[in-house]
């Protein structure tokens, strides 16, 4: 029994490949927007389509009916390595630095808050260097994941390259140690699943922030560039999701892994309330640019969508952020009772 029917709105698709990352037999990404090749036929294919709905950054993947599941954990237990599939989708989705519309740069559309914001975003992009070092150590025995990290690191390294080239066009000078200082990142937590979930969330927030900037900016080169970067971040979220899901379904104690996932979600939701959080500070800088573009001043992280994605990841009934804390208490009690 499978759910149906799924479709892609070509006018909303940003060609991130998140859908094909999870369901390569259902969604294809060649030229132009993603396309539905066929409808899902099995429970695990339906699940992958529903994951695509929740991970699509622009709401382009849609379902005709609400998702229903038998709740069976582990339908996708078996299967080959993820790296070859993810690397192939990434190649179909990937854009070229040389193909960005550099000649369309319009200095008349660039304000000083916009330059400051782009500089801040370029700075934080460099943190993937130290994060890669940590991934290689913490996941050293996971050949599949560490192979994929090479794709992630390559694509992430292009983001500040493109943004810094835009900054140079805008006349912004960068300090000599700009790249080196940006390479600092926070240490990983003990739980590997927790680390993967942290990355799902930050990639989803990043995709949303870049898409917001793409819509808000009237500078043509930046509009295109940030849309392309948003597509990469969204595909990274979908890829981290696949590795996290595999860890949960193959774990000796899946309840423990679900608890770690919930903890990360709970911590992030609460941190978002804090105005002193670096992400909130960065997003606050968007306000003048968003207002200029006629958008609401405040950047809202896609909290609801992230909750729905983590619900799918953990098979827990998280319909909104308000559900997370009670579920965390329940799940903690469940894990302790088992122990
Ligand atoms: Fe990035
Ligand atoms: Fe990313």
CA–centroid distance, 1 to ligand 2, in Å, is 35
Q: What is the pLDDT of residue 113?
A: 81
How many A from CA of 312 to the centre of ligand 1? 24
Between the CA of 178 and the centroid of ligand 1 the distance, in Å, is 16
Task: Give the ligand whose atoms come closest to the C-alpha of residue 90.
Answer: 2
Q: Say what the pLDDT of residue 1 is.
A: 41
Q: How far is the CA of 155 from the centre of ligand 2 (A)?
A: 8
Find the angle CA(68)-CA(237)-CA(115) to the nearest 5 degrees. Answer: 135
Tokens 């849609």 found at: 62
pTM for this one? 0.92
pLDDT of residue 188: 78
- How many angstroms separate the alpha carbon of residue 154 from the centre of ligand 2? 10
Token digits of residue 286: 């968007």
**Chain-centroid distance, C-alpha 48:** 16
Distance (Å) of CA 258 to CA 188, 192, 239: 18, 12, 18
Q: What is the pLDDT of residue 277?
A: 47
Interatomic CA distance for residues 330 and 193, integer angstroms: 19
User: 284: cis peptide before it, omega within 30°?
Assistant: no
Joined tokens for residue 134: 């940590």
pLDDT (0 to 100) of residue 74: 53
Within a 10 A sphere around the Cβ of 120, how many other Cβ atoms?
Answer: 16
- Relative to the alpha carbon of 159, which ligand is closest? 1
Ligand closest to CA 203: 2
Q: Measured in angstroms, how far is the CA atom of residue 268 from the centroid of ligand 1? A: 19
Query: In this structure, which ligand is nearest to the CA of 204?
Result: 2
Give distance in angstroms: CA of 106 to centre of ligand 2.
Answer: 27
3-class SS letters over the chain: CCCCCEEECCCCCCCCCHHHHHCCCCEECCCCCCEECCCCCCHHHHHHHHHHHHHCCCCCEEECCCCCCCCCCCCCCCCCCCHHHHHHHHHHHCCCHHHCCHHHCCHHHCCHHHHHHHHHHHHHHCCHHHHHHHHHHHCCCCHHHHHHHHHHHHHHHHHHHHHHHHHHHCCCCCCCCHHHHHCCCCCCCCCHHHHHHHHHHHHHHHHHHHHHHHHHCCCHHHHHHHHHHHHHHHHHHHHHHHHHHHHHHHCCCHHHHHHHHHHHHHHHHHHCCCCCCHHHHHHHCCHHHHHHCCCCCCCCCCHHHHHHHHHHHHCCCCCCHHHHHHHHHHHHHHHHHHC
For 247, phi then psi, to 5°, come to -60, -40
Distance 71 CA to ligand 1 centre (A): 34
Strand-strand pairing, 27-28 and 61-63 = unpaired
Cα 72 to middle of ligand 2, angstroms: 30
What's the gap in Å between 128 CA and the centre of ligand 2?
A: 9
Rounded distance from Cα 156 to ligand 1 centre (Å): 5
CA of 203 to the centre of ligand 2 (A): 5
Query: How far does residue 312's CA lie from ligand 2's centre (Å)?
Result: 21
- Among 336, 286, 312, 328, smallest CA distance to 22 is for 312
How far does the centroid of ligand 2 lie from the alpha carbon of residue 143, in Å? 20
Task: Say how far apart CA 20 and CA 186 lie, in whole Å.
Answer: 31
What is the CA(167)–ligand 1 centre distance, in A? 16
Q: What is the CA(109)–ligand 2 centre distance, in A?
A: 27
pLDDT score at 330: 96
Question: What does the pLDDT profile of the chain (339 residues) look like in tens digits?
Answer: 456 699 999 999 999 999 999 999 999 999 899 999 999 998 889 999 999 999 999 999 999 988 877 665 555 555 579 999 999 999 999 999 999 999 999 999 998 888 888 988 898 888 889 899 999 999 999 999 999 999 999 999 999 999 999 999 999 988 888 888 888 777 778 899 999 999 999 999 999 989 988 988 889 999 999 999 999 999 999 999 999 999 999 999 999 999 999 999 999 888 765 545 455 556 666 676 667 666 666 777 789 999 999 999 999 999 999 999 999 999 999 999 987
Ligand sitting nearest the alpha carbon of 239:
2
How remote is the CA of residue 65 from the centroid of ligand 2, in Å?
Answer: 30
Contact 248, 193 (CB under 8 A): yes
């Amino acid at each position: 029994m499978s759910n149906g029917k799924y479709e892609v709105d070509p006018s909303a698709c940003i060609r991130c490949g998140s859908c094909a990352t999870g369901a390569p037999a259902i969604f294809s990404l060649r030229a132009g927007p993603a396309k539905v090749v066929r409808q899902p036929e099995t429970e695990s294919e339906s699940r992958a389509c529903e994951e695509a709905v929740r991970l699509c950054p622009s709401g382009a993947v849609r379902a005709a009916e609400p998702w229903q599941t038998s709740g069976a954990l582990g339908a996708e237990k078996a299967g080959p390595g993820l790296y070859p599939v993810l690397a192939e989708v990434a190649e179909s989705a990937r854009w070229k630095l040389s193909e960005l519309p550099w000649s369309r740069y319009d200095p008349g559309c660039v304000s000083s808050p916009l330059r400051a914001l782009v500089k801040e975003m370029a700075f934080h992009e460099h943190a993937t260097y130290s994060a890669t070092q940590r991934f290689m150590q913490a996941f050293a025995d996971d050949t599949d994941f560490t192979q994929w990290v090479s794709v992630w690191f390559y694509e992430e390294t292009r983001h500040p390259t493109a943004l810094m080239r835009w900054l140079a066009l805008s006349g912004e000078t960068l300090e000599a140690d700009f790249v080196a200082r940006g390479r600092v990142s926070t240490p990983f937590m003990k739980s590997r699943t927790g680390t993967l979930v942290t990355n799902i969330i930050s990639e989803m927030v990043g995709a949303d922030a870049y898409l917001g900037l793409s819509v808000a900016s009237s500078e043509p080169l930046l509009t295109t560039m940030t849309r392309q970067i948003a597509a990469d971040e969204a595909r990274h979220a979908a890829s981290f999701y696949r590795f996290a899901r595999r860890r949960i379904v193959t774990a000796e104690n899946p309840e423990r892994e679900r608890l770690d996932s919930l903890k990360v979600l709970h911590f992030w939701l609460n941190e978002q309330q804090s105005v002193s959080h670096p992400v909130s500070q960065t997003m606050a800088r968007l306000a003048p640019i968003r207002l200029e573009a006629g958008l609401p001043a405040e950047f809202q992280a896609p909290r609801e969508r992230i909750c729905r994605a983590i619900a799918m990841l953990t098979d827990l009934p998280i319909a909104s952020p308000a559900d997370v804390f009670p579920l965390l208490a329940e799940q903690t009690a469940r894990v302790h009772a088992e122990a």
